[in-house]
Amino acid sequence: MILTVTLNTALDLTYRVPELVPHASHRVDEVTERPGGKGLNVARVLTALGHRCVVTGFAGGRTGAVLRELLAPLAPVDALVPVAGSTRRTIAVVDAATGDTTQLNEPGPQITADEWEAFLTAYEPLLRQADAVALCGSLPPGVPVGAYADLVRRARAAGVPVLLDTSGEPLRRGLAARPDLIKPNADELARLTGSREPLRAARDARRRGAHAVVASLGPEGLVAVTPDGTWQATPPSPVRGNPTGAGDSAVAALLSSLVENLPWPSRLTRAVALSAATVLAPVAGEFDAEAYEELLTQIRVTSTP
């Protein structure tokens, strides 16, 4: 079983408009709702790849109830912890004319000390059943900034490989707890290390505590610095579409490859192919299965000294 932790879950709303024009009213062509937040997106992709997943984190209020209703028919097991505050919404506005997406993210509910303790109580037994755990996304208000560092340490104490996918101070503190893998994008990595050169920044992040670093370069693929070597993986050509969830698909690919014990070049091939196939899908959190299978044969992975 793979466990994904999403402390700041969300109800993802995607609006498609013919053309997004500032200061104008818009007629929406299509609206979709999905249970969201990075870890829930990861779990949804993992189940599509054939892995059993359990999702945990927080859900509350009317938005949280809708999220859990939408999650129920899907394959991930719901182990979300209820809270008094209302789960946030994220709104993606897709411009059909350009394919570009504008994202609006609410902050999330205020989490009390008792609710945080309830989560920790639920986390420990879930860890004992997990083959790997992913800690994903932002922290809602009220959760300690060092929360991910605590959760990384608990996973390591349980002997469970842990992937950390967050940013800012939670990433900085979580890194010191020595996660098995971090997956920042280029901007997050630059803010963490002060370097705009991705390979140098990834090496710096690994020196700071991560066992391995896989950095997203957007349309240019991924760069990885690991104990077994350093690689860059690139798609055959840039893809256009809705990038929402592409990073989460890369995390799902890395987790699935980890539990399947694949070599690093195969892990990166899967991650880039799945990420690109997500950009090509019309709805956030989904991926184009046909494009994924085709891209698997086209990803170029090169070793870097």
- Residue 3's identity, in one-letter code, is L
Q: Which helix (H) or strand (E) holds 210?
A: none
Identify the sign of the CA torsion 56, 188, 170, 224: positive
- Active site residues per annotation: 248
**Between the CA atoms of 153, 157, 162 and 165, what dihedral angle is there, to the nearest 10 degrees?**
-10
115 φ, ψ (degrees, to nearest 5):
-70, -35
30-35, long-range: CB < 8 A, 24+ apart: 32/283, 32/284, 33/66, 33/70, 34/70, 34/283, 34/284, 34/285, 35/9, 35/11, 35/67, 35/68, 35/70, 35/71, 35/74
Please tell me the distance from the alpha carbon of residue 251 to that of residue 243, in angstroms, as a whole number. 14
| Collapsed DSSP state (helix, strand, coil) of residue 122 | helix
Whether 61 and 28 have beta carbons less than 8 Å apart is answered as no
